[in-house]
């Protein structure tokens, strides 16, 4: 691995020569605003799981339709055949892990695969095999429900079946207007459950009881059904099923319909059910609770917890991460930002983006308080460590960022350039004026003495604390291959907590940005990534894939191990040989 070092004197000279007058790419997500989670990617219908201290969020890939439509027009969801994945450990800096090409994965379905919408995910540790297993259920258009499996939260994924898991022919499903929008949960006994269904009232339903919501038990394999499905009597049900378990009770969440509400109908319903809850507003997130999910009479309607947002529809996931519950939903905020900046035509519509806000939940009573949807979003729950290797795809916001035009969405592609299907490391294509930013960066009391940029191409790079502010460090770099470019910096400037850190490419010629980190050592003495012959407890690549014995792998790996005190730790190192 090569390192190119720029001296402090050269750094200061370049800082004097370059100022903040370079045209900086527009950000469509304001600085300091946590919502939406991405400042450059449209995504919707979120679901989530947490794994090894990170929250992974998955969504329908609206950006695929955006590109298909020439970055404009109306999103009719017809060309969405992939999912996006993001993750975070601090709730404000999100790492983009690329896409799941469901169209390619479900090629064995033949004409039976149509589109991929509204994922729902879960995972478990299989005590028999000793492996962690991940399951993703999805809506195949409004026709049926499919399933994908993986051994890591970001794949590689596969379709374990050559057909859908739940269809209209599944016992107990019909009549069902739309057999879609799955919601999965594994209960406290290790049993899997899957909810689904949506649409206007079917032949046996009415406005207040559309008769489309269903639930079915899963066999231990999680890819087979255990018995027939039953109906969930969800009032004004329309779409967006998800499941949670709280204190032994099942919590079913869903989006209500656009149908008019009649007081007489609702008063009759309340009287029959013995409840006093107000009727839900249109297109709101509602919830029900049961202690016996296969008994329709056991489900109790509890009310509305999620209001209608600025998107054309409503779809959310309720998730507990590190002790706090979050309402993960989609809005139209990113599109509005792009319209305000005149980056898209005013007629562009229905492209959605994922947001997160905190929600108060009483698990003992299964009571969800109503969420306040905000653009500010959540606050950081921990600082970002600048001394750890940070992927370029980790950011709080950005301007001018392109992920190589989503190459793996194109037809007849055999290898993903985005990191999932082929487990290949990602990188960002940067133009002059492009930038990324991270929040709540803690340099500590000593401060950093050098900065290392991993990139290829030629350009001028600046570090700022405001997107249009003066640079606090500047460097020039040039290489035809990915290299580490290092520069010495002033530790008095890079100490303490920085609310914002902007990584700005003021000039860029064929630049591909891969990663960065700071060091407490000067550049001349940097060992960029330590090598070791120690036998770790577990190894993962940078996308979170577990590396097993005999895996041929050269590059940076994440090593999990126990320190002398028996505490589990993680560190990055360079692997140059087969993993043993």
Mean pLDDT over each residue of the chain, to the nearest integer: 88
Integer CA distances (angstroms), 296 to 76, 168, 273, 368, 378, in order: 34, 19, 12, 21, 36
| Percent of the residues in the chain that have a pLDDT greater than 90, as a whole number | 77
**pLDDT of 109 higher than 60:** yes
Residue 120 reports pLDDT greater than 60: yes
Q: Check: CB of residue 57 under 8 Å from CB of residue 47.
A: yes
- Cα separation, 132 vs 123, in Å, equals 7
Nearest to 294 by CA among 233, 239, 363, 253: 233
β-bridge mates for residue 543, sequence order? none
CB atoms within 10 A of CB 227: 12
**The pLDDT of residue 404:** 53
Residue 98: pLDDT band (50, 70, 90) is confident
Dihedral pair phi/psi, residue 499, rounded to 5° = -60, -35
Q: In the chain, pLDDT over 70 holds for what percent of residues?
A: 83
The predicted pLDDT at position 78 comes to: 96
The confidence score (pLDDT) of residue 429 equals 87
Q: With cut-offs at 50, 70 and 90, classify the pLDDT of residue 547.
A: confident
Is the peptide bond preceding residue 36 cis, with omega within 30 degrees of 0? yes
pLDDT for 533: 39
Q: What is the pTM of this model?
A: 0.88
Taking a C-beta distance cutoff of 8 angstroms, is the pair 474, 18 a contact? yes
Mean pLDDT on 120-144: 97
pLDDT (average), residues 89-107 = 93
Query: Which pLDDT tens digit goes with each residue over 211-226?
Result: 999 999 999 999 999 9
Annotate 289-317 with b (16+ C-beta within 10 A) or e (fewer): bbeebbeeebbbbbbbbbbbbebebbbbb
End-to-end alpha-carbon separation of the chain, Å? 22
Q: Given this model, what pLDDT does residue 550 score?
A: 63
Assign 95 a pLDDT band (cuts: 50, 70, 90). Answer: very high
Is 556's pLDDT higher than 70?
no
The arithmetic mean of pLDDT across residues 269-284, rounded, is 97
Q: How far apart are CA 518 and CA 486, in angstroms?
A: 9
pLDDT at 274: 96
pLDDT of res. 541:
65
pLDDT, position 408: 38
pLDDT at residue 423 is higher than 60: no
Q: What is the pLDDT of residue 564?
A: 46
For the cut 90, the answer to whether the pLDDT of residue 467 exceeds it is no
Residues composing the chain: 580
Closest CA to 552 of 566, 543, 541: 541
Calculate mean pLDDT across residues 26-36.
94
Using the predicted structure, report yes or no on whether residue 6 has a pLDDT greater than 90: no
385/569 Cα distance (integer angstroms):
14
User: Averaged over 544-554, what is the pLDDT?
Assistant: 64
Is 50 exceeded by the pLDDT of residue 537? yes
- Secondary structure of 26-95 in HEC code, one letter for each residue: CCCCCCCCCCCCCCCCCCEEEEEEEECCEEEEEEECHHHHHHHCCCCCECCCCCCCCEEEEEECCCCCEE
| C-alpha closest to that of 75 among 348, 298, 318 | 348
Residues 370-421 pLDDT 10s: 999 999 999 999 999 999 999 999 999 999 987 754 443 343 434 433 333 3
Q: Are strands 230-231 and 450-464 parallel, antiparallel or unpaired?
A: unpaired
| Statement: residue 493 has pLDDT above 70 | yes
In this prediction, residues 47-66 reach a mean pLDDT of: 96
Residue 299 has pLDDT above 80, yes or no: yes
Single out the residue of 102, 6, 127, 133 nearest to residue 487, CA to CA: 6
The per-residue pLDDT for 402 is 76
Looking at per-residue pLDDT, the higher value among 568 and 234 belongs to: 234
CA Rg value for the chain: 25
Whether the per-residue pLDDT at 147 is higher than 50: the answer is yes
Q: Would you call 336 helix, strand, or coil by DSSP?
A: helix
The DSSP 8-state label assigned to residue 557 in this structure reads: E
Which SS3 state, helix, strand or coil, does residue 265 take? helix
Is residue 62 scored above 90 in pLDDT?
Answer: yes
């Amino acid at each position: 691995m090569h390192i190119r070092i720029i001296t402090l004197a050269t750094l200061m000279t370049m800082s004097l020569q370059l100022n903040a007058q370079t045209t900086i790419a527009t950000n469509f997500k304001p600085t300091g605003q946590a919502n939406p989670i991405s400042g450059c990617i449209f995504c919707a219908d979120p679901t989530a799981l947490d794994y090894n201290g990170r929250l992974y969020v998955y969504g329908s890939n609206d950006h695929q339709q955006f590109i298909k439509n020439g970055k404009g027009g109306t999103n009719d969801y017809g060309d969405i055949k992939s999912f996006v994945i993001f993750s975070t450990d601090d709730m404000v800096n999100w790492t983009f892990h690329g896409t799941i090409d469901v169209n390619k994965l479900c090629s064995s379905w033949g004409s039976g695969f149509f589109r991929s919408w509204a994922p729902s995910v879960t995972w478990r540790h299989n005590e028999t095999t000793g492996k962690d297993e991940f399951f993703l259920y999805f809506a195949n258009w409004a026709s049926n429900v499919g399933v994908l499996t993986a051994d890591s939260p970001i794949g590689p994924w596969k379709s374990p079946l050559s057909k859908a898991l739940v269809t209209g022919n599944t016992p107990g499903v019909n009549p069902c207007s739309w057999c879609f929008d799955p919601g999965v949960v594994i209960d406290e006994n290790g049993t899997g459950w899957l909810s689904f269904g949506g649409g206007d009232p079917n032949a046996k339903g009415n406005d207040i009881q559309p008769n489309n919501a269903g639930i079915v038990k899963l066999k231990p394999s999680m890819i087979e059904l255990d018995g027939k499905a039953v109906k969930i009597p969800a009032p004004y049900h329309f779409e967006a099923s998800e499941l949670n378990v709280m204190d032994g009770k099942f919590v079913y969440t869903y989006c209500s319909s656009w149908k008019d509400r009649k007081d007489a109908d609702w008063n009759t319903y309340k009287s029959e059910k013995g409840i006093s809850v107000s009727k839900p507003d249109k297109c709101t997130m509602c919830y029900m609770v049961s202690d016996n999910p296969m008994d329709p009479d056991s489900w109790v309607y509890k009310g509305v917890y999620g209001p209608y947002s600025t998107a054309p529809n409503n779809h959310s996931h309720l998730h507990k991460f590190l002790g706090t519950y979050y309402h993960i939903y989609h809005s139209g905020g990113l599109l509005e930002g792009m319209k305000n900046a005149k980056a898209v035509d005013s007629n562009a519509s229905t492209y959605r983006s994922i947001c997160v806000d905190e929600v108060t939940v009483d698990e003992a009573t299964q009571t969800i308080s109503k969420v306040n949807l905000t653009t500010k979003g959540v606050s950081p729950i921990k600082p970002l460590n600048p001394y750890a290797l940070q992927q370029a795809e980790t950011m709080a916001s950005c301007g001018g960022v392109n992920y190589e035009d989503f190459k793996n969405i194109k037809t007849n592609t055999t290898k993903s350039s985005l990191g999932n299907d082929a487990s290949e490391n990602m990188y960002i294509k940067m133009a002059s004026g492009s930038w990324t930013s991270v929040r709540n960066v803690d340099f500590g009391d000593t401060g950093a003495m050098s900065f290392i940029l991993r990139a290829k191409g030629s350009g001028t790079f600046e570090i700022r604390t405001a997107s249009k502010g003066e640079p606090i460090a500047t460097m020039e770099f040039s290489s035809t291959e990915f290299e580490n470019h290092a520069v010495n910096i002033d530790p008095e400037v890079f100490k303490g907590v920085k609310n914002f850190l902007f990584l700005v490419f003021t000039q860029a010629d064929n630049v591909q940005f891969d990663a960065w980190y700071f060091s407490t050592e000067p550049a001349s003495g940097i060992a960029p990534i330590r090598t070791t012959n120690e036998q770790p407890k577990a190894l993962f690549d940078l996308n979170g894939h577990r590396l097993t014995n005999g895996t041929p792998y050269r590059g940076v790996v994440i090593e999990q191990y126990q320190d002398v005190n028996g505490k589990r730790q993680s560190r990055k190192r360079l692997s140059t040989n087969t993993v043993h």
